[in-house]
Structure formats: C-alpha cells, structure tokens
Amino acid sequence: MTVFEELKARGLIAQTTNEEEIKELIDSGKAVFYSGFDPTGESLHIGHMMQLIVARHLQRAGNKAIILCGGGTAMVPDPTGKTDIRPILSKEDIAKNIAGFRSQMEQVLSFDEGGAAIVNNADWLLDLNYIDFLRDVGIHFSVNRMLTAECYRTRMEHGLSFIEFNYMLMQAYDFYYLSEKYGVNMQCGGDDQWSNILAGADLIRRKTGKPAHGITFTLLLTSDGKKMGKTMGGAVWIDKNQTSPYEFFQYWRNVGDDDVINTMKMCTFVPLEEIVEFEKFEGAALNPVKERLAFEVTKIIHGEAAATEALNAARAVFSSGAAADMPSSQLAADDFTDDIIGVLDLLVKTGLTASKGEARRLVEQGGISLNDEKVSDVTTTFEKGIFEGDGAVIRKGKKIFHKATV
C-alpha cells in the first residue's frame, strides 16, 4: 500500500486539487510540502496534532516537510469556521507561543538533517510594503470569488471585518513565497483551510506558471458530527503542563464505542491490518481497544515512558487501592435526555448525594471528579457514550469511588 492509499484508507484525506498528480508526487517522495500553525495559544492542541500526524506519514515516505509558524498571520484574525473575530495578539505573546511549539512538534516529526524545517512567516510578512503587496498580490484576487468561500460566508452573517478579509491573501502569499524560496509544491491543512489553500495554489500559477498542489485532511469528528478535542475543562492540549499525560490518556480512553476504530485509524500509526481485526469487537470487548488507542496516541505526543505510566495509573483506578471493591450503578435510558445527563442528576441517580443541593455544594467545593477529571461547573453534562463498556468512575472527595454504567 502506497502512502497515498494508506492516507485514504485511514480516512485522512478530505480534498485534493488533483488526486492523480498528488498521488504520484507523494508516493515518489518528491513532495516538498508545508503545514501552517498560527501561534494563537501557548500550546498546540488535538486539532494541530492531526496536521502533525499527516505530515509524519508524508515524511516517512521521503517527502520533505516545511513547518510554518505564523508569527505574521497570527497578527491578523483568520475567519475560518468562526462566528466571532479571533483575538488580536501582541508580538510578544506570539513570540512566546512560538517558542513552545518546536518541542511539542519534535515528538511527532523528525527535524534531523533532510527531515523537517521550521520557518516563521513574520520574517517576510512584517516587512511587506502595503502598496507593493496590493499591486503584486492583491491584483490576482477576485473579491466576488473570495466571497463565495465558506469561511467568509460564515463571518459575513456576523460582520466580516476588513482585517479578516486580508487573511486569505497573506496565506496565499506564504504558499507563493515558500514555493520560490524552498521549492514547496504542496500545502497541507485541515479541511476548513481549503479556500485558503486554493488561493495560494492559484496565486503561484498566475505569477510563475508552476504547478502547485493542495491537500486537506479530514477534521476529527465524533460519529454524530461533533468536533473532538474538548473536555469539561476545555481543550485537550499537547503541552503536558496544560493537559497532563494522564489526562491526555484518559481523554482517548473515554472515546465512544462508535468512534474508537475511526479514531485509531486517523490518530495512530497502528497498522491497518491490525485495526481491521478490532472492527469485529463490540461492547466490553472494545475496552482493550480503547486502552490501546489511548496508549498509542499518548506515546506519539508524550513518549512511551509517559504513555506506560498513564496506562498503569488508569488501570490502577479500576483494579487496586481504594477502587478495588468499587460500588457501581447502572443508569437507565430515561436518566438521559437526548443521551445527555447533568452532573447533579448523575450524583443523585448514583446515590452519591441525597439531593441536588448537596450535589451542587460538592461540585462547587471541588469534591467531584469523573475519570479523574475534576468537575467544577454545576452545569456540566456528560454524553451517554462515556458510561458504556466498563463505565466511568466518579470520585467523591479523596476516597469514595463509584462506577456508573449503562
């Protein structure tokens, strides 16, 4: 199986500018591709992880990766998929964020000689002359065509600012600049970047006549169409100081039954032949598969030692110490509304509290955790899926453990 065929089999490819040409390019190891990361936060998150995994697949086949940190584009709000304008960061904050990215990327990509290179588009964007930019780049863009892009249509419903309108031109210029400077012939990104990628490929063809390719990967969604990567406490970060390896492991261990196989295909390097065998499993038999998924993804991001430690700690919750003789409750179908149950209802239904008032006080005092993730908001809700299989563990205080199943 070629690398392109494997990417398709894993469900990673969403759109391509020319499938046959891209297949030939990456299967022969002749792609010099770039993936961009705007440093709008102190850490990369699960969405960024998908870009890194796709890049690693391509890198393993001999293709060269250029990793772009958007020190320039991060100063201009990207309208893609947003209903509100993205906050505008200071140069100092952007520089600080970039500093932490490389060590996180090195867990997935090889930056040895001939592997991947990191560049910062602030090096060429911040010194651009605006009039020259309009004459050299802006002249090639049709406003009518730009407004047909999904990213702009979404923002226009809420008010599209002129600064956001420039983002597509800047990203397109990045592709053109990298093509001229480093021989980049393909851009990779999430499917929400499709319009920006097309704009860059078109700019290169108009200015140089050279071929330029684009490929987008599938966004990581649950079976019911929700974007993965969120927990009760917020985003799942790659930085171990923001999301610990154990919390990171637990996130993947708690993936729903309907999502575990697809997630393993997209987020790990486990051979497809092995994953196909897992597709035969159902119910409780999927628990070892979820454990394997969590271990493999944690190993990619935090290393094998941290993944092993998280695996052992997770097993201990279910099989040793205070949790050894854990009482359990089975939730009924009518305990859920649209497959959702609130934390206060959960505590009452499982008998951990006698009333919602007591449940509220416990949550507000920080005395409740679910699967070792503290619940601090009384409005927190949980999806039915996390109680399937061997259930979820609720901890009340430091010593009371209770397993909830469906």
Residue 230 appears among annotated catalytic residues: yes
Q: Which of 10, 17, 38, 45 is catalytic?
A: 45
Q: Which of 60, 91, 135, 230 is catalytic?
A: 230
Residue 227 appears among annotated catalytic residues: yes
> Sheet harboring 13-16: ordered strands across?
13-16, 213-217, 186-190, 32-37, 64-69, 116-120
Both structure tokens of 356: 């919602």
| Residue 405: exposure state from Cβ atoms within 10 A (0-12, 13-18, ≥19) | middle
Q: Which of 171, 216, 263, 353 is catalytic?
A: 171
Residue 86 appears among annotated catalytic residues: yes
Q: Which of 23, 82, 349, 360 is catalytic?
A: 82
Residue 82 appears among annotated catalytic residues: yes
Q: Which of 40, 59, 73, 243 is catalytic?
A: 40
Secondary structure in 3-state letters for the chain: CCHHHHHHHCCCEEEECCHHHHHHHHHCCCCEEEEEECCCCCCCEHHHHHHHHHHHHHHHCCCEEEEEECCCHHHCCCCCCCCCCCCCCCHHHHHHHHHHHHHHHCCCCCCCCCCEEEEECHHHHCCCCHHHHHHHCHHHCCHHHHCCCHHHHHHHCCCCCHHHHCHHHHHHHHHHHHHHHHCCCEEEEEHHHHHHHHHHHHHHHHHHCCCCEEEEECCCECCCCCECCEECCEECECCCCCCCHHHHHHHHHCCCCCCHHHHHHHHCCCCHHHHHHHCCCCHHHHHHHHHHHHHHHHHHHHCHHHHHHHHHHHHHHHHCHHHCCCCEEECCHHHCECCEEEHHHHHHHCCCCCCHHHHHHHHHCCCEEECCEECCCCCCEEEHHHHCCCCEEEEECCCEEEEEEC
Residue 27 appears among annotated catalytic residues: no
Residue 57 appears among annotated catalytic residues: no
Q: Which of 16, 154, 222, 231 is catalytic?
A: 231
Given a contact cutoff of 8 angstroms between Cβ atoms, the answer to whether 266 and 11 are in contact is yes
Q: Which of 8, 23, 56, 86 is catalytic?
A: 86
Residue 192 appears among annotated catalytic residues: yes
Q: Which of 135, 145, 227, 315 is catalytic?
A: 227
| 160, amino acid identity | L
Q: Which of 48, 155, 290, 302 is catalytic?
A: 48
Residue 140 appears among annotated catalytic residues: no
Q: Which of 192, 202, 239, 259 is catalytic?
A: 192
Active site residues: 40, 45, 48, 82, 86, 171, 192, 227, 230-231
